[in-house]
Structure formats: C-alpha cells, structure tokens
Amino acid sequence: MAEYITHEHDVLIIGAGGAGLRAAVEASAAGVTAAVISKSLLGKAHTVMAEGGVAAAMGNVDDRDNWRVHFSDTMRGGQYLNMQRDFGGHRYARLAHVGDRTGLEMIRTLQDHGIHLGLDVFMEHTVVTLLKDGERIAGAFGYDRERGRFHLFRAKAVVLATGGIGRAYKITSNSWEYTGDGHALAYDAGAALMDMEFVQFHPTGMIWPPSVRGILVTEGVRGEGGVLRNKDGERFMFKDIPPLYVNQTASSEEEGWRYTQGDKNARRPPELLTRDHVARCIMREVKAGRGSPHGGVFSLPTLT
C-alpha cells in the first residue's frame, strides 16, 4: 500500500470558509477542476459567526447612502491605511443580513452551489506543508484527521483561505481552526508576510461565566441601542471621540438613541464608532481599574 494517497486538481483551495468556498465556486464555474480542504466539517467554518450582516450601500434604507459614502467610510475607518471595513463606523444603516445568521446562510448557499458544480471536498484534513517545484507552488501535503492517512495534493494553483490567528488569544470568539495555519504555510514556502499588526478585534463578546466565554455579541446589539458602561455606570465612549468623527457622532445620549430608532436628523452614538477605537476605549477603562470584575465592561440595552 502506498504511503500516501495522491489527488490531482487544477486549483486547490485550503480553507472552507466564505472566502475559500467563493474561490472554489469561481474556479469550478471557469471549467477547471477544483478541490477544497477543510480542517473541520463542511459548513462549520468560522464564517457562520458573521451574525450581523454584510455592508452594502444600496440606499434602500437611507437614500443619502451610496458607494461614494461607503468608500469614504472605508478609508476613514482604516485611518487611510486599509481597504476593509466593519459595520461599526458606517455613516448610514447599510447592513444586508438574514436575521442573526447571515454567515450561516452564506456558507450554506456557497457549499450547495459548489457541490452542484462538482467541487471535491476533503473534510477533516489538515495541511502541514506546501509543495514546490523549483520556485513555484505545485501542491500540498497533509493528513486526514479521522484515520491519520497522508494525502498528497497536486495542483497547478493553490489558494490559501485559512482564516486568521484568533486562537492565539486567551479569550476569542474564533473557532478552533483559527491557528494561523495559512500564515505558517506561506512563510515556510518563502512568502513575505506583511501588515501582521493589522489584527481586527471585535469589541464585544462574553467573558463570564466560563461556560459562555468567547461567544460573540454582535454589533447589531449596539446598532439597536445597546450601550457600553464601566463599573461606575458611566457611558465612557462619549469621553473619546476621534476628531475625524466628531461631526458624525451624537453629542448626547438622547441624540444617540434617536439615531438607533431611525431618526435621520440624529447622529450615531459613539458605541458605533470603528471596532479598533471601541476596543481601545474598552481596554483603557479596564487598565484604569474601571472595568468589570472579570476584566471587561458592561454591554447593556437601553430601556425606554
């Protein structure tokens, strides 16, 4: 019996989240053979945790919104360094969503379409190294987690869609697969890694009791009027509004509440500033001794 099982495809995608499945669907639609390798079961990728929605400046909720405003928000939210953006910090309501299961429905749609196109899926397989032919990538080598058998994947092109590094942190909403595999695979193959400091932190999640630690609290909670308070009951986000956002941020709790209720003449509350800023403000309160007993702050609904 051979020491490993060999597979051949035109395109090999490592990672079966939203990005990986979308790449696989596009490759299959182009008429090439494609395969996806997933560390877990198909449909269990961390994309399912995208509860809040996807930003889309369609203007159907607020007619003042358009792609130019969205682009401006993107650049401003990234401090003019990046080209990606979260939905805390959007000037207008522009989140397309399916209840609180947007990511789950995205995954279901992509995987169903991919299987329909004839996509090969290798579930519960872990890739340990990329293979090279001279200076080009020629495939990957790994093993199946259930039986421990080795697998060699030959491919003309390899796409790394392995997600982030969230499991490097003590408390994280990221699933167990997020261990930086893709970074390591690329680095070992000779790639230069850049912008490693650009790790996005979702500001709100459960930290206590231990049974719920790491569960994400969607930004939609704050979008519906939820507020952040320190141990003294102070709504601390009003203390630190970046100059770039002063003219777009509510000057009072009352104005912020009106925004969450759909008042177009009101400005958004500071809890809906960008994730990086909200996360820094939370940590400032914790380090100053104004945090919760278990090292966070309190996310509370606004009662009327």
CB 228 within 8 A of CB 298: yes
- Write out the DSSP string of 168-236: GSSS-SS-TT-S-HHHHHHHHTTPPP--TT-----S-B--SSGGGTT-B--THHHHTT-EEE-TT---G
Angle, nearest 10°, between helix axes 102-116 and 18-29? 30
Q: CA 238, 240, 244, 248: dihedral to nearest 10 degrees?
A: 0
Q: Is 182 exposed, middle or buried (0-12, 13-18, 19+ CB in 10 A)?
A: buried
**Both tokens assigned to 142:** 């790994």
Active site residue 222: no
Cβ partners under 8 Å of residue 204, min gap 6: 216, 217, 218, 219, 221, 222, 228, 278, 299
DSSP 301: P
Catalytic residue among 167, 267, 275, 290: 275
Q: Which H or E element spans position 282? A: helix 275-287
Q: What does the chain come to in residues?
A: 304
205 beta partners: 216
**Both tokens assigned to 64:** 């003042």
Q: Which amino acid is at 104?
A: L
Active-site positions read 275
